[in-house]
Amino acid sequence: MTEKSGAEPAYKDYIGVFDSGVGGISVLHDLKRELPQENFLYYGDSANAPYGEKPIEKIRTLTMNSVDYLVSQGVKALVIACNTATSAAIPAIREKYEAAMPVIGVEPAIKPAAEAFPHGRILVMATPATLKLDKYTKLSKELAWEAEFVPVACTGLAGRIEKGNFDAPDMNALLEKLLGQYRGKVDAVVLGCTHYPFIRKQIQKVMGDIPLFDGGAGTARQLRRQLLNRGLLREGPQGVAGKCVLKSSLDTDAEIKLYHEMLQCIS
């Protein structure tokens, strides 16, 4: 998985985007929209997905292995497009690589939700690991005076999304089990896992016509700022889109086909 000594890196001038599986493709969509001329190399660790219910040390190890792979391919920047991986591993990733390149993580969009609904009641959907880690705890405490946050550990949901077929009855049943008790009792929902934007329609079927917030667009804007600050923005002909390569640790034709379908369905 590494380049031969002396060879030009395979993905020089690409932005590496990592997720535990398909979820980060929702962030990739926002990145492509914000930075259409950039080249992207997306890598999903679907062989080990989902991360959100694994031990924290295991998440850190898996994340760093995948990030090391992306760096070995020659990428000029890193986007950790996974809330769980960001929460568990971003300090170590920044310590290792931030001197050499921009390192961007995602976080639950609770601040924009609180700003939109001051003193409101906001449901935060996230993986069990994300809700346990310091990043979410610290952020929610800092904003506690602005709104009431209701964390919901959505056990099993990211893994179910990895399988596709979002309109199947079992998806609705799982969402009803996780969220049904909060219907009509909250003002907004934060999608605190990058898998969840793929099922916006299904979440609103359970919760009603309620605003949903995710961190993809904010992550894309932060990446633009970091690339600009370091003189790394790609220059190219206007109207000509950059390249986008999708790879997975579960390296099968069916999995790569699913990745492409997921990117198309959210575009």
Q: Would you report the helix, strand and coil content of the chain in percent, each value rounded to 5?
A: 45, 15, 35
Cβ proximity of 17 and 40 under 8 Å: yes
**Which among 223, 261, 256, 166 has a CA at the least distance from the CA of 27?**
223
Sheet strands (E) in the chain: 14-19, 39-44, 77-80, 103-105, 121-126, 148-153, 188-191, 212-213, 244-248
> Would you state the structure tokens that stand for residue 111, as one six-digit string?
């601040």
How far is residue 257's CA from residue 129's CA, in Å, rounded to a whole number? 28
**Can 154 be counted among the known catalytic residues?**
no
Write down the catalytic residue from 154, 193, 244, 265: 193
Write down the catalytic residue from 82, 154, 244, 265: 82
How far is residue 232's CA from residue 32's CA, in Å, rounded to a whole number? 16
**Which among 154, 153, 144, 146 has a CA at the least distance from the CA of 175?**
154
**Can 244 be counted among the known catalytic residues?**
no
Residues with catalytic roles: 82, 193
